A = this chain, B = another copy of it.
Amino acid sequence: MSRGNTHQRIQDVALELFAERGYEKTSLREIAERLEVTKAALYYHFKTKEDILVSIVDDFNQPVVELIEWGREQPRTLETKKEILRRYSEALSRAQPLFRFIQENQASLRDLSLGERLKKRMFTLSALLVEEDADLVDRVRATTSLFTMHAAIVAMHDSGDAPEDRRQAALTVAYELITSAHHGD
């Protein structure tokens, strides 16, 4: 009815299934069946299975790339760092299924080149959270501040706490970590 519609639906269903069952174990047959089209139809819209995944990741990637660019232009104050964490936690919340997928399918992502790209991005982001000459402990603090959010938002998924509460709690802990790092503790 509206063009580009199927394209979008494929991405949605694919992500759903990739997150549910893993990338390798999700077959194009399953995606096609859930969409009630044929496998061949998928190939009209995407060149390969990998292509479907890449297109999904690329779409959700945008906000984080922008966040990194924004962060680069700011003075490296504690306020800036907090703002980065806050924005990252929001991106994480919004794109939860994708991040869950990424976290659980690192092995698959590895040789799809996507893996490296994502890792580098995380590394770049965490670099914005400490001084350039920071010692190892501070760098661990910075990395951990990002991991906290993954832990709280994605991994504590079925702890019984409300998503927004988990996000706030994660932010609190993340703030503490980069505050310590900021002083050089």
Q: Which residues of A contact B (CB under 8 A)?
A: 21-25, 101, 103-108, 110-111, 136-137, 139-141, 143-144, 147-148, 150-152, 155-156, 159, 161, 165-166, 169-170, 172-173, 176-177, 180
Chain B positions within 8 Å of A105 at CB level:
106-107
- Partner of A106 from B104, B110, B137, B147 at Cβ < 8 Å: B104
The verdict on A159 contacting B137 (CB below 8 Å), with A24-B24, A107-B25, A151-B144 known, is no
Chain B positions within 8 Å of A172 at CB level:
137, 140
Q: Are A170 and B140 in contact (CB under 8 A)?
A: yes
Q: Which residue of B lies closest to A19 (CB)?
A: B107
Q: Which residue of B lies closest to A170 (CB)?
A: B140
3 A-B pairs with least C-beta separation:
A22-B107, A104-B106, A24-B24
How far is B22's CA from A38's CA once the two chains are assembled, in angstroms? 29
How far is B21's CA from A54's CA once the two chains are assembled, in angstroms? 19
